[in-house]
Amino acid sequence: MTSQATAPERMARRQLSDRAFAWLLISPAILFIGLIVVWPLIETIRLSFTDATLGGESWVGLKNYADLFASSKFWATVGRTFYWMFLSVSLKLVMGLIGATLLNAAIPGKALFRVLVMPPWVIPVAIGVIGWKWMYNGYFGLISGLLQEFGLVEERVALLATKTSAFYSAIVTDVWVGTPMVTLFFLAAMQGVSKDLYEAAWVDGAGRWYRFRRITIPQIMPVIVSMALLSAIWTFNSFEIIWILTEGGPRGATTTLIIDTYKVAISSQRFGEGAARAVVIVVLLATFSLFYLWFLNRVNRHYGAK
Amino acid sequence: MIDRLSLWQKIGVYAATFVFLLFLLMPFIEMLRVSLRPMSHLMTADFTWWSEDFSLQAYRDMWVTVPLLGRYIFNSIFIALSVTVVTMVVVIPAAYAYARLEFPFKALSLGGFLAVNMFTGAVLLIPLYRVLRSLGMLNTYWAMIVPGVAFLIPTGIWLLRSYLEKIPRELEEAAFVDGASRLYTLRRVVIPLAVPGLIVVGTAVFIGAYAQQFLFAITFNNVREIQPLPAGLFEFIGYQDTTWNEMMAAALTGVLPVMLLFLFLQKYLVAGLTAGAVKE
């Protein structure tokens, strides 16, 4: 570094090391992800071709996959997982949209209401789910009690004990966990919509519903669409909620792919077979995401967003 | 004027808001109700909203039933804070690189980071277990901190990048012209300007770390003393003799410190999310 160098020259010299500097800056992140995500992922793929257990492992080729694809139970689980994802995400989006619209209304008390939306989001997921597990129980749970009180059921109902009710109970809890975050993101997006648009429409005599449909929704569409993707991925991989409520039961009614993977790989310690399931999850999610991003791209172009 | 609601519309909005909030807060109300009643009455009597037997006994007994409760509460916060600090240390430089510098494979590597969002720990548990074992981290705080960090890095980079992009470049160029080094500029110019963004991203990371500590804890750690709250309480739940009133009391007490913190911080948080996340 000669002190004679002029400022622009100095900047030019720095430009040259841009690459090195940038890689230096992101290297800790890359190391971390490499060690905790990429390497385990490669290992998972390798393990999926073995019959690894605690005892040892040997190469079995595609056997794990062949077994999986031949099993009707597995396809039922795949179907259930997608159904779980679509239903839960749709409900979260609808709830989020309703919630954000309500919280966005110009009424006294809205600051307080916004605070009251947050609790399910800022506590450990597992704690909230423990609360739900209590409410679903048949002997003294709140929901069974209420249903009886209103005369909707004769006897106490153990919601987590029968297949259909257990599945939809898990959905309700998942929606409960996911709704606050979706609501707050939608609210944030709604507040970002330019007031001028609403005023122009209002001057032209557009009603509230029309403004909502033709201004709010299109304006926040990019946020809705990206939130939907994130939410879909999280819901697909949602583990704690189902595990604490039902551990995948009764008789497999709430077993999604992630629960199945955990059971096989960790509970029964059949690492090879578990790894094959994990790989299937990754492939399914990657395919789904790519398709979705393509769709997102089209939506963004359609609505003229950046 | 445009926003004015008629009386009936107002009543409608309040009613709908009430139902919406009731759904979100019901479990808390119910947990509180249960925590205030003696266990014997809970199990025998039919469901009632209100009863004469409310007492704070469970809040005393829980410390005996769950002797490590204080530790669990501390562990939860300690783990989440550690995850936040480590994540931010890793995320700040990376987010700066993506916001400001041009380098080969920039878009590709950013896409790679975002793709990490597709995984959760649950998919990678087996090899992750082996990695942590060979690093000697099993059954230590690190077993719960390190995986937590890895899965929060991508979101952190993504959120912080959009903040840093909003800081005017001119300020940095001025520092360069004055002969400041790159690291000096990052430390003394960029980071101080980005403080509001750092707080928001840090808070978002903390929430993520605090909410999701169950899986790694039950899989990678079996030392009671360092277990976080949800994993610690889970041990007592689901058996015939679960003392639900004490569990609810313990759960509510456990989440209270962080909940209060967020009630105070929420204004900044919502404002911050607006600024960072919405930008597509």
Mutate to test the interface with A, among B108, B118, B253, B279 (most CBs of A within 10 A): B118
H or E element that contains A23? helix A18-33
The answer to whether the CB atoms of A43 and B127 lie below 8 A apart is: yes
How far is Cα B47 from Cα A142, in angstroms, rounded to an integer?
7
- pLDDT on residue A179: 94
Q: What average pLDDT is seen over chain A?
A: 84
pLDDT above 60: residue A2:
no
**Is residue B7 domain-resident?**
no
Residue A141 has pLDDT above 80, yes or no: no
Q: Which of A120, A261, A285 sits opposite B118 (nearest CB)?
A: A285
* pLDDT above 50: residue A59: yes
Q: Residue B264: pLDDT above 60?
A: yes
The pLDDT of residue B278 is 39
Backbone phi, psi, residue A50, to 5°: -125, 170
**A288 CA to chain B: closest CA distance, Å?**
10
Q: Residue B132: inside a domain, yes or no?
A: yes
In the chain, the amino acid numbered A189 is A
Looking at residue A3, its pLDDT comes to: 47
Residue A127 phi, psi dihedral angles, 5° rounding: -65, -45
* Same domain as A232, residue A101: yes
Residue B94: list chain A partners with CB under 8 A: 25-26, 28-29
Question: Does the pLDDT value for residue A154 go beyond 80?
Answer: no
Helix (H, G, I), strand (E, B) or coil at A233: helix
B120 with A289: Cβ contact below 8 A? no
Looking at the partner chain, which of A25, A223, A278 has a beta carbon nearest the beta carbon of B96?
A25
Chain A positions in Cβ-Cβ contact with residue B228 (cut-off 8 Å): 124
Does residue B50 lie within any of the structural domains?
no
Domain count, chain A: 2
Claim to verify: residue A39 and residue A172 sit in the same structural domain: no
Question: Does residue A197 share a domain with residue A70?
Answer: yes
Tokens of B185: 């500029």
Residues of B in contact with A33 (CB under 8 A): 112-113, 116, 150, 153-154
Whether B89 contacts chain A with CB within 8 A: yes
What is chain B's alpha carbon radius of gyration, rounded to the nearest angstrom? 24
Chain B interface, best mutation among A115, A123, A239, A267, by max B CB count within 10 A = A123
What's the pTM value of the predicted model, to 2 decimals?
Answer: 0.86
Q: How many domains does chain B have?
A: 1
Integer Cα distance of B42 and B54 in angstroms: 11
Instruction: Give the pLDDT score at A94.
Output: 95
* Extended strands (E) in chain A: none
- Mean of the pLDDT values across residues B119-140? 86
Higher pLDDT pick, B16 / A202: B16
Question: What pLDDT was estimated at residue B107?
Answer: 85
Q: Which residues of A touch B37 (CB under 8 A)?
A: none
Q: Would you say residue A83 lies in a domain?
A: yes
Contact between B252 and B273 (Cβ < 8 Å): no
| Mean pLDDT value across residues B244-249 | 86
Q: What is the pLDDT of residue B45?
A: 58
Is A116 within a domain?
yes
Residue B182: give its domain's CATH number: 1.10.3720.10
Domain assignment present for B143: yes
What's the confidence (pLDDT) of residue B175?
A: 81
The reply to whether residue B280 touches residue A300, judged by beta carbons under 8 angstroms, is yes
Q: Give per-residue pLDDT as tens, B178-207.
A: 877 877 888 888 888 888 888 888 888 898
Q: Is residue B258 part of a domain?
A: no
Q: Take residue B171 and report the two structure tokens written for it.
A: 């300020």
Do A38 and A86 sit in the same domain of this protein? no
- Average predicted confidence (pLDDT) for chain B: 83
What's A108-122 look like in SS3? CCHHHHHHHCCHHHH
Q: pLDDT exceeding 90 applies to what percent of chain A?
A: 24
More reliable by pLDDT, B125 or A88: A88
Tell me, yes or no, whether A171 and A250 share the same domain. Answer: yes
Q: What is the average per-residue pLDDT within B81-87?
A: 95
C-alpha dist (Å) from residue A135 to A84, A160, A219: 21, 10, 39
In-domain check, residue A153:
yes
In this predicted structure, the answer to whether residue B33 has a pLDDT above a threshold of 80 is yes
Do A15 and A119 fall into the same domain? no
Say if residue A6 is in the same domain as residue A113. no
- The single-letter code of the amino acid at A268 is S
* Chain A residues touching B15 at Cβ < 8 A: none
Q: Is B197 on the interface with A (CB under 8 A)?
A: no
The CATH number for A269's domain is 1.10.3720.10
Decide if A198 and B2 are in contact by the 8 Å CB cutoff.
Answer: yes
A38/A138 same-domain check: no
- Clarify whether residues A27 and A154 are in a common domain: no
Is the CB of residue A252 less than 8 Å from the CB of residue A162? no
CB spacing of A30 vs B109 below 8 angstroms: yes
Return the DSSP state at B122.
G
Does an H or E element contain A260, and which?
Answer: helix A257-262
Find residue A59's DSSP bridge partners. Answer: A50
Residues of chain B contacting residue A11, judged by C-beta atoms under 8 Å apart: 173, 176-177
Most confident of A201-210, A248-257, B24-33, B57-66: B24-33
- Whether A299 has a pLDDT exceeding 80, the answer reads no
| pLDDT the model gives residue A9 | 54
Residue B278 lies in a domain: no
Q: What percent of chain B has pLDDT over 90?
A: 19
Interchain pair A113, B17: CB under 8 A: yes
| Residue at B211 is within a domain | yes
**pLDDT number for residue A83:** 95
Q: Is residue A215 part of a domain?
A: yes
pLDDT of A7-28, one tens digit each? 555 555 555 477 888 888 899 9
Query: What does residue A59 show for φ and ψ, rounded to 5 degrees?
Result: -70, 125
CB–CB of A184 and B115 under 8 A? Answer: no
What is the residue-wise DSSP string for A140-195? Answer: T-HHHHHHHHTTS-SS---TTTSHHHHHHHHHHHHHHHHHHHHHHHHHHHHHTS-H
> Where do the DSSP E strands lie in chain B?
none
Mark whether A176 and A102 lie in a shared domain.
yes
The number of C-beta contacts closer than 8 angstroms across A and B is 284
CB-nearest partner of A119 from B14, B131, B259: B259
A97 shares its domain with A195: yes
Closest CA to B16 of A185, A105, A220, A213: A105
**Taking CA atoms, what residue in A is nearest to B219?**
A266
A160 in a structural domain: yes
Give me the domain span that covers residue B85: 68-235
Q: Please judge whether B5 and A237 are an interchain contact, meaning their C-beta atoms are less than 8 angstroms apart.
A: no
Residue A170 belongs to a domain: yes
Q: Check whether residue A130 and residue A235 sit in a common domain.
A: yes
Q: What is the mean pLDDT of residues A37-49?
A: 90
- Dihedral Cα A83, B207, B115, A179, nearest 10 deg: 30
Name chain B contacts of A179, Cβ cutoff 8 Å: 23-24
Distance from CA of B34 to the nearest CA of A (A): 9
Q: What is the pLDDT of residues A76-129, one digit of tens each?
A: 999 999 999 999 999 999 999 999 999 888 788 888 888 888 889 888 998 999
Stretch 125-184 of chain B: residues touching chain A, C-beta under 8 Å? 125-128, 130-131, 146-147, 149-151, 153-154, 157, 173, 176-177, 179, 182
**Contact criterion met (CB < 8 Å) for A26 and B277:** no
pLDDT of residue B208: 87
CA distance B50 to chain A (A): 12
The domain containing residue A288 runs over which residues? 66-302
